[in-house]
Amino acid sequence: MTTTPMKTSLKDTLARAHALFLQADNPLSAEMTTLRATFLSPHRVEEFGDDELFLFFLENLIRNRDRMSFPEETSLYRSYFTDCIRLKNLEQSLPGYCADSYLADSLNMLDILKTPYYSSYFQTLIAMKSTFRETGIMNQTLKDFYGIMIKSPEDHLPLIPAIADQGLFYRSLPVEDEQVIRQLLLSTLALYTKADSSMEDLTAYLEREKEYFRTSSRADLWTIESLPELLAERTLYLDLSPSTGILRNSKSGSMSFQEINSEFLNHYAYNMNARSYLTNPAIGRDQEIEDLALILISPKKSPILLGEAGVGKTSVVEGLAYALQQGKAPSLLKDKKIFKLTTTSLLSGTKYVGEMEERMKKLMEELAKYPDVILFIDEIHTIVGAGSTESSNNDIANMLKPYIDRGDIKIIGATTSGEYHRFIKYDQALSRRFYPILVEEPGQELCLEIMEGSIPAISQATKVMNPFSREDTRRLLSILLDISTIENQPEDLKTRWPELPLSLLEMAFSYAALASRQSLQVEDFIHAVSHSNRLKNSVKKDAGKYFVL
């Protein structure tokens, strides 16, 4: 589609615009009345400056109105219209201008209008349009930047378009492959969205980077193949070590991401402290985390978390790892690192007598080298009998007992109450080494908090934003909770809150991502419910009837 300013009268353009509204269904809906009041006026047509494109713009909004999220504040639409004109003028001045691309951009802007990210998104979009000529690279880079926006605190948002603006400078350099520009932008984005940086810090960095590139004589580095060397030279010039003060620890704490340099531990387990937690993974579980910390501090006892499947036992351990990462754990635990170990990983590949014992001996040697490591064993009841043979009753449980008894190692276990009584409770020598901590199923209000608090992390992972108001969001989450009751689950797949409603929420975001959309829709929730294998067929069949906002 190509457009040129039309030499028609204002009256003709308004008549065609009115015709678009008359042809639409449900002319008195809130969305239609908003569009009429905002855009259907003579001064809007004149302000836009391109009659034909203005009509396409209106038609595009009307056609897609049912899948958009319209804000209530009328002042936002005035800003939006001004921004659409600014974007139009920019795009029409660039080589390869395409009206379809502009209409898609303006639609995305409306979808984000009611969020706190809109201003940063629009400024970033303008910078990207001015920087990139290849649409595919621009769209992917914009998507990456937006993925960072939706997980950033509000006071951090202005840094993101400021980084995007550096692309205009890269454009002036002798670079032919725009993938190089993309990777330079992403490398700066990675540095300054994971640090306690101010705008002053970022500005100083960007100016110093410009100084480096202006004085660099290595024109041969401006290729994607030479990018690692280019980034290395830039890093050496700017000296991006933490001691320079350019990168600092997080406001919230020490951000302990240090890995344990043990090939054995890192092969059979992973460091939970080193995971990236966008938000607290254990919302509403402060008491359980406090109990967990208390037992870990106590000598000669290890905690075991008991609760039904799906209640969030692993999340409690993740909550402690998050507190350790953020520097918010008790001082006696501040240097501890939690490694998640699975029984199957230890048993894997052990075919002959003595191999299991050798592996356990090596594990104990590694733990002696790293006394700050705490082992987390999920489904800990599986250590009973694991590794034993017909000629030996020396299973993992018996091998661990003396080390726990002496206080040489600390273990966090997790299992269901049933499995605890069946496998561990009966063995008094084993059970007296563990202190049970009950993790109960959260009630509806706490479950809502957990789900609502999980949305930023899910949004970051899927690159899909939640456009709904808080009221509508909680209504949708409540519907997921109502659907996820035990009565609606198959007999062989029963689980407790919050596991199933959280899984349905994640699936809804995933369906939006699968459709290459940046915003969640009610239809995504319907798809998530109707395609879940953890709900009864009668519930899946009637999925649509539940979601009437």
**CATH number of residue 343's parent domain:** 3.40.50.300
Quick check: helix, strand or coil at residue 413? strand
- Three-class DSSP category at 270: strand
DSSP-derived secondary structure letter, 441? P
Choose the final residue of a domain: 211, 244, 277: 244
Within a domain: 360: yes
Residue 63 phi/psi, 5° resolution? -65, -35
Same domain, 79 and 108: yes
| Residue 190, C-beta contacts closer than 8 angstroms, at least 6 positions apart | none
- 507 and 373 fall within a common domain: no
Q: Are residues 311 and 405 both part of a single domain?
A: yes
- Give every CB contact of residue 354 below 8 A, 6+ residues apart in sequence: none
Q: Judge whether 250 lies within some domain.
A: no
Mean pLDDT by runs of 10 across the 549 residues of the chain is 54 90 81 84 88 91 80 79 90 86 90 86 92 91 88 83 90 86 89 70 83 70 79 70 36 45 82 78 92 90 93 95 88 91 70 72 87 92 65 70 79 94 85 92 93 84 84 93 93 88 93 88 94 91 85
Please name every residue paired with 436 in a beta bridge, in sequence order, or none if there are none.
Answer: 304
Reported as half-sphere exposure (CB side, CA atoms, 13 A), residue 353 has a value of: 6
CA dist 318 → 123, 229, 275, 297 (Å): 36, 37, 9, 18
Q: What is the pLDDT of residue 243?
A: 35
Shared-domain flag, residues 95 and 215? yes
Is 5 domain-assigned? no
Residue ending a domain, choose from 438, 472, 495: 438
Residues 212 and 297 in one domain: no
How many domains are contained in the chain? Answer: 3
Tokens of 345: 């990983």
CB 411 within 8 A of CB 405: no
Full residue range of the structural domain in which residue 133 is found: 10-244
Given this model, what pLDDT does residue 270 score? 83
Both 84 and 222 in one domain: the answer is yes
CA distance 522 to 380: 40
Q: Which of 178, 186, 188, 195 is nearest to 210 (CA)?
A: 188
- One domain for residues 281 and 324: yes
**Which residue, 438, 456, 473, sits at the end of a domain?**
438
Same domain, yes or no: 132 and 219: yes
Cis bond before residue 498 (omega within 30° of 0): yes
Do 323 and 200 reside in the same domain of the chain?
no
Residue 340 lies in a domain: yes
pLDDT at position 393 is: 57
Radius of gyration of the chain (CA): 29
Backbone angles phi, psi at 27, to 5 degrees: -65, -15
Q: Is residue 256 included in any domain, yes or no?
A: no
Residue 164 and residue 127 in contact, taking contact as beta carbons nearer than 8 Å:
yes
pLDDT of residue 389: 47
| Contact predicate 277/461, CB 8 Å | no
- Give the separation between CA 280 and CA 539, rounded to whole angstroms: 32
Rounded Cα–Cα distance for residues 281 and 320 (Å): 9
3-state secondary structure of 255: coil
Q: How far apart are CA 437 and CA 292, in angstroms?
A: 7
311 assigned to some structural domain: yes
Q: How many CB atoms lie within 10 A of CB 47?
A: 12
Half-sphere exposure of 254 (CA within 13 A, CB side): 16
Distance CA 128, CA 182 (A): 10
Residue 341 lies in a domain: yes
Structure confidence at residue 205 (pLDDT): 84
The C-alpha atoms of residue 247 and residue 261 are separated, in whole angstroms, by 23
Tokens representing 69 are 């999220």
What 225-234 contacts at long range (C-beta under 8 Å, 24+ apart), as own/partner pairs, is: 227/180, 227/183, 230/180, 231/183, 231/184, 231/187, 234/209
C-alpha 322/C-alpha 281 separation (Å) is 8
Rounded Cα distance, 359 and 442, in Å: 39
Please state, in angstroms and rounded to a whole number, the distance separating the CA atoms of residues 143 and 166.
17
Residues 387 and 479 in one domain: no
Whether the CB-CB separation of 392 and 353 falls below 8 Å is answered with: yes
Is residue 533 domain-shared with residue 484, that is, in the same domain?
yes
Classified as helix, coil or strand, 262 is coil
Angle CA 388–374–412, to nearest 5: 65
Residue 3 in any domain: the answer is no
Judge if 270 and 194 occupy the same domain: no
Supply the DSSP string of 363-430, one letter for each residue.
HHHHHHH-TTEEEEEETGGGGSSTT-BTTB---HHHHHHHHHHHTS-EEEEEE-HHHIIIIITT-HHH
φ/ψ region of 96 (left if φ > 0, alpha if ψ in -120 to 50, else beta) reads: left
Residues facing residue 437 across a β-bridge: 305
Distance between CA 317 and CA 258 in Å, rounded? 18
Max distance between CA atoms of the chain, in angstroms, equals: 97
124 near 26, Cβ under 8 Å? no
Decide: helix, strand or coil at residue 336: coil
